[in-house]
Amino acid sequence: MSDDIQIRVEGRAGRITLTRPKALNALTWDMCLKIEAALDAWAKDDAVALLIIDAEGDKAFCAGGDIAVMYETGKAGDFDYGRRFWADEYRMNAKMFNFPKPVVSLMQGFTMGGGVGVGCHGSHRVVCETSQIAMPETGIGLIPDVGGSLLLSRAPGRLGEYLGVTSDRMGPGDAIHAEFADYFIPRDRWPALIDTLCENGDWEAVDRAAETVPDSPLKQAQGQIDRLFSGETLRDILVDLTHHDGDLRDKAMKAIGRNSPLSMACAVEIIHRVRLRDTIEAALEQEYRFTYRAMEHGDFLEGIRATIIDKDRNPTWRHDAPDGPGVADVAQMLLPLGTQALKL
């Protein structure tokens, strides 16, 4: 049995459990490949009625990807390691999104970045009282990826732009309002639910176990978010923010001041492009154009240095201010990759 992930069949359910609680169940390359193999095996296995994805520990379902090796290889000039990791991860994300059977994901604590790609593409996405879901990639010089741009593009109004730019965290009520999750079920009821699902494969047990959705601060702020984040570019959004005041505006500006200007500008553009095409394949294609270039031409390595290597939280971004990246900068990061394009 692997130390980082457990994959097995229990009764009518295919089960995937992330087992790295001390590392907040961060997703490794090997874990991505094992999940993909399980999806391939179970897709046409009549003995498997549904899929259950959960994780050990209380702090996190999955707090993101294990990116330390990406930093080491990237700093050494090896950009292919990260590109191959992302290509394999994105292929797995697409298979998760398109899996032909019900997928029940149980997401306690932190679900961020790569964790969203595992937990938020299923059909029955469950959160509890401790759930905190976010796409914080612009804070490390990346963009919301793993199919996250599709989720952001489908969020009500302009929540997608707000969440992608600010990296704001969503509690259970917010996650359901933003359509990153579907059900609220208290954590202490999960073991009984899992037993029922394994015993009879009846995914409607999730509906029966669901409780009233908690309040959503984002829902209450929806109108203001829609007004402030309706711009076509990051610069447009900044203009709108400059001409308003209030707590939400101040919170947004503080977050924007921390994150990579290039990443935020590209995130807005990707969300808009994906909203027009509305497929997981289109989302992953656009995301890969950016991540393919992120180490060599973006802020990714500097973002990782400041966040997890030196931990000084003081990155030196390629652009000095949020309004620094222009249309040409964004276009350069999102040009088609030709023969290097993502193959799903």
**CATH no. for residue 284?**
3.90.226.10
Residue 16 to residue 234: CA distance in whole angstroms = 38
* pLDDT, tens digit (0-9, with 9 covering 90-100), for 62-96: 999 888 889 999 999 999 999 999 999 999 999 99
Supply the pLDDT for residue 66: 81
Task: Mark whether 179 is an active-site residue.
Answer: no
For the chain, what is the domain count?
A: 1
Task: Mark whether 137 is an active-site residue.
Answer: yes
pTM over 0.85: yes
Task: Mark whether 145 is an active-site residue.
Answer: yes
* pLDDT, tens digit (0-9, with 9 covering 90-100), for 248-269: 999 999 999 999 999 999 999 9
Q: Which of 65, 82, 122, 141 is catalytic?
A: 65
Residue 306's domain spans which residues? 5-340
Q: Which of 74, 82, 109, 114 is catalytic?
A: 114
Q: Which of 36, 54, 89, 145 is catalytic?
A: 145
Task: Mark whether 14 is an active-site residue.
Answer: no
Q: Which of 66, 89, 137, 299 is catalytic?
A: 137
